[in-house]
Amino acid sequence: MKSIIFMGTPEFSAPILTSLIDAEEYNVIAVVTQPDRKVGRKHILTPSPVKKVAIQYDIPVYQPEKLGGSEELEQLIDLHADLIVTAAFGQFLPMKLIDSVKIAAINVHASLLPKYRGGAPVHYAIMHGEEETGVTIIYMVKKMDAGKMLAQESIDITKRDDVGTMFDKLSLLGRDLLLKTLPALLDGSIEAKDQDENKVTFSPNIKPEEEQVDINLKASLVDDKVRGLRPFPGAFVYLNGVRTKLWKVEVLEQKTNLEPGQVVKKTKHSLDIATGENGVISIEELQPAGKPKLTITDYLNGSENAFIEGDQVIKYEEY
C-alpha cells in the first residue's frame, strides 16, 4: 500500500481525495488544505470541502497559511510519503517537499496543458470561448504547471456550462484519470511527455478589475464572460451607475444599430441591451450591489421607469 499526502482545497478536489481514500492500494496519511475562511454575510468560519472529507475519515489535516517556511512543511517532509497528489491546492510546493517523496509528486490540473497554466484554467477556458477543456496529470516541478505530462483527457464545454458545472465534470474526470494513471506510474509502464513550450498560455488568478464585463464586446463574448465568472467571483457591469452582477444573460439572434450599452427593448419581463458588433443580449438574472439575486422580472417590478429604449444604461469604466 502506497502512502499519499493529498493537497487540495475546493469542491473540485474533494471527490479526488475520496477516491484515493476508498482505494485499497493507497493510504492517505495526511491532507493539506487552505485555512478555514469566513464565508457569507455572517462571516462564518468554514472549513474547505477537502478538510470536511479528511475529518470524515479521521485523517490528519495541515492548514498552513503559507507552506514555505512553516512548521507544517517540516512535519510533512518527515512523513516520507511515497506520493504527493495535489488538486487545486492553491499554493506553491517547496522543492524540498517535492524532493522528499519516495516515488513522485503529481498534480491533477484542470486544463489541456500546455494551455492555461495557472490558478484559473476553467475560468479562462470559458471566458475565451473554448469548446473543450480537460484534465492533465503532470509531474510537479519548480516551474508552475510545467512538468512532464503523464495523462490527459478532454471534455466538451457547452454554451450552458459555467465554472460551477465544469468544475463538477472536471472533478470526476480528474478522479477517474488519476485512478487509471497511478498504477501505470507505479509499475513504470507510463511514458511522460514534455509540454510544447511554443503552445503555452496562462490563466492567472482573476483580478477584481477583470470581473467587469466590457459591453463593447460582441454578444457571445459577453455571455462567455458571464459564464466564465459564474458562480464565482461573478461578472459585473455598472447598470445606471450601480455596480450590478450579471448572473445570466441570453444572446439574442438579432442585430441593432444602437450603441453598446443602450436599451434595445424593455418589457415587464425582459431587458435587452445592445453589445459590440451590433449584437443584443437579454439580461435574465442580476444582482445590484447590496441586494439579493433577482430575476429580471422581479428587478423590473421595482424599476418601472428606469429603462427607456435608446437610453445608455451600461458603460464600461476603465480602471
Do 55 and 115 belong to one domain? yes
Domain boundary among 199, 230, 254: 199
Q: Report yes or no on 242 lying in a domain.
A: yes
Q: Please tell me whether residues 215 and 80 are part of one structural domain.
A: no
User: What does the pLDDT read at residue 72?
Assistant: 94
pLDDT digits (tens, 9 = 90+) for 231-259: 999 999 999 999 999 999 999 999 999 99
Q: Which domain holds residue 293?
A: 209-315
Same domain, 193 and 288: no
Summarize the annotated binding site as residue ranges.
111-114
CATH number, domain containing residue 176: 3.40.50.170
Question: Are 215 and 156 within one domain?
Answer: no
Q: What is the mean pLDDT of the chain?
A: 94
Query: SS in 3 state form for the chain?
Result: CEEEEEEECCCCCHHHHHHHHHCCCEEEEEEECCCCEEECCCCEEECCHHHHHHHHCCCCEECCCCCCCCHHHHHHHCCCCCEEEEECCCCCCCHHHHCCCCCEEEEEECCCCCCCECCCHHHHHHHCCCCEEEEEEEECCCCCCCCCEEEEEEEECCCCCCHHHHHHHHHHHHHHHHHHHHHHHHHCCCCCECCCHHHCCECCCCCHHHHECCCCCEHHHHHHHHHHCCCCCCEEEEECCEEEEEEEEEEECCCCCCCCCEEEEECCCCEEEECECCCEEEEEEEEECCCCCEEHHHHHHCCCCCCCCCCECEECCCC
Same domain, 147 and 115: yes
Domain boundary among 155, 179, 199: 199
Tell me the per-residue pLDDT of 150-203, one tens digit each, with 9 for 90 and over: 999 999 999 999 999 999 999 999 999 999 999 999 999 999 999 999 999 999
Q: How many domains are there within the chain?
A: 2
Among 199, 229, 257, give the residue marking a domain's end.
Answer: 199
Q: Are residues 127 and 56 in the same domain?
A: yes
Provide the pLDDT for residue 108.
97
Q: Which pLDDT score, from 0 to 100, does residue 40 have?
A: 75
Q: Are residues 214 and 168 in the same domain?
A: no
Residue numbers of the chain with a pLDDT score lower than 50: none
The answer on 221 and 187 residing in a single domain is no
- pLDDT for res 306: 78
Residues forming the annotated binding site for (6S)-5,6,7,8-tetrahydrofolate?
111-114
148 found inside a domain:
yes
Q: What is the CATH number of the domain that holds 234?
A: 3.10.25.10
Q: What is the pLDDT of residue 90?
A: 85
In this predicted structure, what is the pLDDT of residue 139?
97
